Chains A and B, each alone.
Chain A
């Protein structure tokens, strides 16, 4: 498989003022039209991973390792991420309305991107933008073109933001928790929309979320992140049915279901993730892990093949058997 996006040993540090490592040696590959979801709790470094790939890290952030998009290196001095911009990688941000400039009409912003990234004449870019607003199923594309961001509702703004991210017709779409600012019914609609758009436009998708329910429907593959590292990566169906890493199993167990509600209490993972900047010798999940042994405290596990997926655990759960 020739990779569209290939991440090798990506590490992201922040100087704040001592070094805080947000992402720690992540490897990921994504083929054309493939859909990968990165799952993990907040602070696990998912968002910083996406920002590092697009050169959007905060001023005190440093990315090391290698990120290749269609064979071109995106990490480096100066504006190395430039080749991925425009029609390379699109980005849907967490706060929907935030990616729209408040002082300009939605239409102007879409047209600007279409003209800059695709070299279209203005007239053509206008038609294209109108079509794009229809494609994200905004009820009245014509009047939305002339609207300012504050005149739209939250759900409409997220649709407009998705249209903006797609206006350059990117080959890969980054979606950073695109629905966490929306209410549940709108969440489902936006996810269905992303699904349809990826299929129609032949886009690859890198989705970041903490919502496993969202992932199941949308992504072909899942990478689970914990404290800056990928602890498990595999096929969605396989991973959800037979998690190998105790953390993945814990995450799955803490998803509320109707039957679990009968017991009255929601399953949780005891403890808290390590604080940023803490140095840990062994496995990062060890303090919270129900399966920990002596070896886990001294030796950090690597991501290795375990059955159908990759697992970073000395004592993974056996496939098909509950712990």
Chain B
């Protein structure tokens, strides 16, 4: 953390049992996505002709069953989680960095700068995202990178609006005037006096962005312009699973449970992080 409140926030986070549990679970999941596929007997696109659509714990080696093409569901879920998490984290990071910087500067500068910066946001808002993604797939081809660019390009807009509103309100507080009179530069005021004071809503919104990005990715994959087979993502696993709900409910249950666990952990973590960053709540 570069905001000068890193160590104390970490201490507070460490004392928060929910946060520690969530971090632990998320850490284990990340570790599993990285190491899991290598330790298991099957590859994500390997077809087991003798065990197609096998329920969990029935076929040898397929702990959580297989899909209708006989691919190991655990391996595919871990693979999907890896891609989904990577896209979600990257898109959230983009929204944090661009959105916060953009919104804070617009709100702090007010007036004409603010008007131009926010009209730019409005223009991007009014672009249909699906249309934009289709153009991107033409340029870059389908794949995780295209999805990341597509989500990143739009993900920061709402963040910028939220931050701008907060910054506008902060601008009228006397400590900002005091910092200006004290001779601090704009960059310093933004980094030291504006951004730390709007971290609460930012963190909360960022934790809402994570699951949202995973869902947008699954929506785009469902439309056929997202992550494509044989690559797996939580989105297309859930979509495939939903199609087999009546005959093979585990194909939906396994990736959906995984998605829920991740979203749940991020929400709790966000809440704890918000508290940890506010000295009044420590």
Flag whether A91 is at the interface (Cβ < 8 A): yes
**How extensive is the interface on chain B, given as a class?**
20 to 34
> What's the Cα separation between A95 and B278 when bound, in Å?
22
Chain B binding surface, main DSSP class: helix
B224 to chain A, nearest CB (A): 46
Could you mark each residue 262-282 of chain B with 1 if its beta carbon is under 8 Å from any beta carbon of chain A, else 0?
000000000000000111100
Residues in B with CB closer than 8 Å to A150 are 279-280
Flag whether B246 is at the interface (Cβ < 8 A): no
Contact of A85 with B181 in the complex, beta carbons under 8 Å: yes
Contact of A99 with B279 in the complex, beta carbons under 8 Å: no
Interface stretch of the complex, out of B124-132, B192-200, B214-222: B192-200
Flag whether A108 is at the interface (Cβ < 8 A): yes
With A91-B177, A93-B177, A98-B174 in contact, do A86 and B182 touch (Cβ < 8 Å)?
Answer: yes
Contact of A101 with B174 in the complex, beta carbons under 8 Å: no
Contact of B197 with A112 in the complex, beta carbons under 8 Å: no
Flag whether A164 is at the interface (Cβ < 8 A): yes
Flag whether B173 is at the interface (Cβ < 8 A): yes
Q: Which of chain B's residues 92-122 have a Cβ closer than 8 Å to chain A?
A: 110-111
Flag whether A117 is at the interface (Cβ < 8 A): yes
Flag whether A59 is at the interface (Cβ < 8 A): yes
Residues in B with CB closer than 8 Å to A103 are 5, 196-197, 199, 277-279
Contact of B192 with A112 in the complex, beta carbons under 8 Å: yes
User: Which residue of the partner chain, among B178, B185, B277, contacts A164 with CB atoms under 8 Å?
Assistant: B178
Contact of A116 with B183 in the complex, beta carbons under 8 Å: yes
Flag whether B35 is at the interface (Cβ < 8 A): no
Contact of B175 with A99 in the complex, beta carbons under 8 Å: yes
Residues in A with CB closer than 8 Å to B278 are 103
Q: Which of chain A's residues 93-117 have a Cβ closer than 8 Å to chain B?
A: 93-95, 98-104, 108, 112-113, 116-117
B3 to chain A, nearest CB (A): 9
Total residues of chain A contacting the partner, CB 8 A: 33
Contact of A59 with B111 in the complex, beta carbons under 8 Å: yes
Could you mark each residue 34-61 of chain A with 1 if its beta carbon is under 8 Å from any beta carbon of chain B, else 0?
0000000000000000000011101100
Residues in B with CB closer than 8 Å to A161 are 178
Flag whether B257 is at the interface (Cβ < 8 A): no
A316 to chain B, nearest CB (A): 37
Among residues of A, the one whose C-beta sits closest to the C-beta of B181 is A91
Flag whether A168 is at the interface (Cβ < 8 A): yes
Contact of A117 with B193 in the complex, beta carbons under 8 Å: no
Could you mark each residue 158-181 of chain B with 1 if its beta carbon is under 8 Å from any beta carbon of chain A, else 0?
000000000000001111011111
Contact of B192 with A56 in the complex, beta carbons under 8 Å: no
B185 to chain A, nearest CB (A): 8
Contact of B181 with A104 in the complex, beta carbons under 8 Å: no
> What's the Cα separation between A95 and B176 when bound, in Å?
13
Contact of B4 with A108 in the complex, beta carbons under 8 Å: yes
Flag whether B34 is at the interface (Cβ < 8 A): no
Residues in B with CB closer than 8 Å to A67 are none
> What's the Cα separation between A101 and B111 when bound, in Å?
24
Flag whether A167 is at the interface (Cβ < 8 A): yes
Q: Which of chain B's residues 19-59 have a Cβ closer than 8 Å to chain A?
A: none
User: Which residue of the partner chain, among A55, A59, A91, A116, contacts B178 with CB atoms under 8 Å?
Assistant: A91
Flag whether B15 is at the interface (Cβ < 8 A): no
Could you mark each residue 68-99 of chain A with 1 if its beta carbon is under 8 Å from any beta carbon of chain B, else 0?
00000000000000000111011101110011
> What's the Cα separation between A300 and B278 when bound, in Å?
55
User: Which residue of the partner chain, among B111, B177, B199, contacts A56 with CB atoms under 8 Å?
Assistant: B177
> What's the Cα separation between A91 and B193 when bound, in Å?
17
> What's the Cα separation between A117 and B99 when bound, in Å?
30
Flag whether A223 is at the interface (Cβ < 8 A): no
Residues in B with CB closer than 8 Å to A207 are none
Contact of A101 with B193 in the complex, beta carbons under 8 Å: yes
Residues in B with CB closer than 8 Å to A167 are 182
Residues in B with CB closer than 8 Å to A100 are 175, 178
Contact of A113 with B182 in the complex, beta carbons under 8 Å: yes
Residues in B with CB closer than 8 Å to A90 are 181
Nearest first, the 3 closest Cβ-Cβ pairs linking A and B are A86-B183, A98-B174, A99-B178
Binding site for A on B (CB under 8 A): 4-5, 110-111, 172-175, 177-185, 188, 192-193, 196-197, 199, 277-280
For the complex with contacts A56-B180, A108-B4, 13 further pairs of A-B residues with Cβ separation under 8 Å are A54-B181, A56-B181, A59-B110, A90-B181, A98-B175, A103-B5, A103-B196, A113-B182, A113-B183, A148-B280, A150-B280, A164-B178, A165-B182
**29 sampled A-B residue pairs with Cβ under 8 A:** A58-B172, A59-B110, A59-B111, A85-B182, A89-B181, A91-B178, A91-B181, A95-B174, A98-B173, A99-B177, A100-B175, A100-B178, A101-B192, A102-B279, A102-B280, A103-B199, A104-B5, A104-B192, A108-B4, A112-B182, A112-B184, A113-B183, A113-B184, A116-B183, A117-B183, A164-B178, A164-B182, A165-B181, A168-B182
Binding site for B on A (CB under 8 A): 54-56, 58-59, 85-87, 89-91, 93-95, 98-104, 108, 112-113, 116-117, 148, 150, 161, 164-165, 167-168
